[in-house]
Amino acid sequence: MALSEALGTTGRVSPASRGRWRLSSITPASSYYWVRLLLENPAVVASLLLLLAILLTALFAPAIAPFDPGFVNPADRLDPPSAAHWFGTDDLGRDVFSRVVYGARISLLVGVTVTIGATVIGSLIGLIAGYYPRADTPLMRIMDGLEAFPSILLALTIMATLGPAVENVIVALSVVYTPNIARLVRGTTLMNRQQTYVESARAIGMRDFPILRRYIFANSLSPLIVQCTFVVAFAILTEASLSFLGAGVPPDIPTWGSIVSSGQPRLQQAWWISVFAGTFLFVTVLATNLIGDGLRDALDPRSRRR
């Protein structure tokens, strides 16, 4: 929209022009058309139902788990799956099913919390770096430095400094995945700040914060939503890797990674310890990735045309 159209004879923004500006910032995500496209994908629907079942299992773990996950019963050690112990028992006689159910709480908590933290911090860094040229170089060089480390190595370094705890795992993984979000938001900000409606908003004296919120960040939501689904999957997988290596949460807290790690030395003798926890981990990550693929196809018109 030309500036002459936005500014009428009085030099003020006309109501019609203001309405057209709002329409300029509407993305496919805000029209809910993508929801229908998403639900038409059978793999996405199945993945959503599966994740919902896992989420409900984690929320109602005390009611679902038949035993305390930390209860040790040496008399039942290494029992195979049975009616009493659906997933068998480990080398200390602990019920594997109860530990897997409680482990879902930690994995989902870490995945969701890390995604929220990385999205908030990464979006702020990306918006500032993309909108203000002077801040671009120092901020993005810091992000490049963090990305230079392999994700698991950077997470291990941070955990070695902070110590084993659930909140420390969240902090470490938030730092690991913040650069991915920051680079994505920076790219969309660089593209959107050159649009005519952003230049017109600056010309009439609109402040930077409303411009960033209404016109730039709103048009970054579609790729950001897709990226967040993959961050959830990667965070769950990385947390399991840290727990497998013994650098994640404390050993007394059951997680899928620690259960797989405890069963790895006895894989031939008691395969059920690692297999059931690994299956839950595999299914959760796969379902999350399938939802991310479905969101990408629904929110990107170019992929739909292909």
Residues 262, 86: Cα–Cα separation, whole Å: 18
pLDDT at position 253, please?
86
- Determine contact, residues 206/276, Cβ cutoff 8 Å: no
Asked, for residue 77, whether it belongs to a domain, the answer is no
CATH number of the domain encompassing residue 117:
1.10.3720.10
Q: In residues, how long is the chain?
A: 306
> What total number of domains does the chain contain?
1
Residues 256, 77: Cα–Cα separation, whole Å: 19
What are the angstrom distances between the C-alpha of 35 and each of 49, 55, 250?
A: 15, 21, 40
pLDDT tens sequence for the chain (306 residues):
444 444 443 444 443 344 333 433 444 444 566 677 777 888 889 999 999 999 999 999 889 988 888 888 888 888 888 888 899 888 888 899 999 999 999 889 999 999 999 999 999 999 999 888 898 899 999 999 988 888 888 999 999 888 888 899 999 999 999 999 999 999 988 888 887 878 787 788 788 788 888 888 888 888 888 889 899 999 999 988 888 888 888 878 888 988 888 888 888 888 988 899 999 999 999 999 998 888 887 776 555 555
Residues 162, 66: Cα–Cα separation, whole Å: 34
For the entire predicted model, the pTM comes to 0.81
Q: What is the dihedral of CA 296, 301, 305, 306, to 10 degrees?
A: -30
pLDDT at position 34, please?
67
What are the angstrom distances between the C-alpha of 126 and each of 30, 178, 180, 202?
A: 21, 10, 10, 20
Q: How far is CA 66 from the centre of its chain?
A: 30
Asked, for residue 141, whether it belongs to a domain, the answer is yes
pLDDT in tens, 199-239: 787 788 788 788 888 888 888 888 888 889 899 999 999 98
Asked, for residue 12, whether it belongs to a domain, the answer is no
pLDDT at position 184, please?
92
How many Å is the Cα radius of gyration of the chain? Answer: 24
pLDDT at position 222, please?
81
Asked, for residue 20, whether it belongs to a domain, the answer is no
Residues 275, 162: Cα–Cα separation, whole Å: 31
Asked, for residue 22, whether it belongs to a domain, the answer is no
Asked, for residue 290, whether it belongs to a domain, the answer is yes
Domain that holds residue 167: 28-67+87-305
Asked, for residue 240, whether it belongs to a domain, the answer is yes
pLDDT in tens, 12-59: 444 334 433 343 344 444 456 667 777 788 888 999 999 999 999 999
Structure tokens at 28: 């496919």
Asked, for residue 245, whether it belongs to a domain, the answer is yes
Q: How far is CA 179 from the centre of its chain?
A: 13
